[in-house]
Amino acid sequence: MQTLENMRDYIAVLKSQGQLHEIDREVDCDLELGAIMKKSNCRKGPALLFNKLKGFPDGFRAFGSPVNAWSKPGMTYSRIATSMGLAPETNVLEIIERLSTIADLPRVKPVVVGDNVPCKENKLLGNDVDLTKLPAPLLHMGDGGQYIGTWHIVITETFDRSWTNWGMYRTMVHDRKTLGAPLIPTQHIGMQYATWKAAGKPMPFAMAFGVDPLSPLIASMAIPKGVSEVDVVGAYRGKPLEQVRCETVDLCVPASAEIVIEGYVSLDDLRTEGPFTEYTGFLIKSAKDWPVFNVTAMTWRNNPILPVVCTGEPVEDHLCMSVSLAAGVLDLLRKAGLPVLATFIPPSSALHHLIIKVDKDRFQGTDRELVNAIAGVVWSDKVGTFSPKIFLVDEDIDITDTEIMLWCSATRCHPERGAHLFPDTTVVPLQPYLSPEEKKAAKTTNVVYDCTWSKDIPKDKRPIRATFEGLWSEAVQRKVNENWGKDGFE
């Protein structure tokens, strides 16, 4: 397994795989760029490299859809696999398995290198800071502004410097010197901000854009509180990640970055961030006042490339979160000793559906007790708050096959006994169907659909799947397979 060192190497690998499309004509960052990405995403098209951006110097580029799905058969998750140093055809369940153990690997601390790195080639400090020099796009009609941060790393620390957090939080440009991003108290950045606010000091921050492909993938995962993502990246790579010190704050960023923005989060200056078109597939019309990110420095390499994700109706680059969240759930359930074989979040569910394959025979208890145990583990952790609807299935079901899952839920889930409601459960308040009161409380009723055969039905009385493999002998199957080509079939 060989992970890539920077985004440009990643772009080159995608090009060699045939899943990079370059656009050489001038493209407008005001809506046109987002529209091109959206139309391509709907077709599960290639990653996009915009080589000429209207109003910006030659050489400034944008890299779109870095981890979205690809339409080539068997290669849906190829960009995620490539980002992880795996073969592009790696099965999604294997990817989830690998990610499910990543936080338990022995940590590898980063190393700090000197300033002779590309991201220091151009610098604007203090009063010279001007965010309009960077190609932040207005992605959708109705968005509150230009969002420079859609696939990046936001770096913060606790006041006592004991915990460095890497996260990915949407970031809007307010003006030449300020940014806006949500500081949700239950997210790690919000927890760290609270430690600085308690001390009465503005929180330092840094943002790194266009780093190696693995780092933003890890930054977007639900790594446990107190664990520094940069150490996890080193653990997965098997070697330290190279970092460089910032210009005006006491933080470090990946040395591979194309663009770096740094500064301090205000204690009392609030400004409206949003609206923004979210992963749920809807333009969320609400906006909220959040503390302002005051920029004290911005640095970038010559001819920088800004990575961009165009969120919206699935499938788009939140494909990576469907994988990482499924991995987090798998880890939680296995550590709880529950008989879970695999987990999966269908990309088209916008993270709302979580499918869990179980081996009921290994569970000493009733059907309802298994449902309660799984729900208790999943929805008591941050990683489960994105998925309010759980589907339990038996081990014979291919949980990555949408048509098989529809058939399974239709034929095995009892309309009354199969649906188990869990009121007053904590959820991500972006779920579109929530009432205003539920959004404010971030609580609603979740559900588990038990699509497994009930233990009340003896194994020898259960229906047999009417498949090619299930209802014909091996001899008949072999004869049919051997003659398939001769019979004129492909």
Q: Residue 101 is encoded by which pair of tokens?
A: 């153990």
Hey, CA dihedral for 376, 378, 381, 385, is it positive or negative? Answer: negative
Q: Of 5, 157, 273, 278, which residue is the catalytic one?
A: 278
Beta sheet of 353-358, edge-to-edge order: 340-344, 353-358, 389-393, 443-450, 419-426
DSSP assignment of 292-343, as one string? EEEEEEEEE-SS-EEEE---SSSSSTTHHHHHHHHHHHHHHHHHTT--EEEE
In angstroms, the CA 218 to CA 226 distance is 15
Are 440 and 434 in contact by the 8 Å Cβ rule? The answer is: no
Are 442 and 428 in contact by the 8 Å Cβ rule? The answer is: yes
Which residues fall within 8 angstroms of residue 180, CB to CB, at 6 or more apart?
145, 171, 172, 174, 271, 272, 273, 290, 292, 293
Q: Residue 2 is encoded by which pair of tokens?
A: 């060989």
Angle at the Cα of 76 (from 75 to 78), degrees rounded to 5? 60
String of b and e for 359-386 (b: at least 16 CB within 10 Å)? ebeebeeebeebbebbbebbbebbbbbb
> Is the backbone peptide bond immediately before 315 cis, with ω within 30 degrees of 0?
yes
Q: Residue 418 is encoded by which pair of tokens?
A: 């199969």
Are 54 and 28 in contact by the 8 Å Cβ rule? The answer is: yes
Per the annotation, the verdict on 369 as an active-site residue is no
DSSP assignment of 374-422, as one string? HHHHHTTSGGGTT--EEEEE-TTS-TT-HHHHHHHHHHHS-TTTTEEEE
Are 83 and 67 in contact by the 8 Å Cβ rule? The answer is: yes
> What count of residues does the chain have?
490
Active site residues: 278
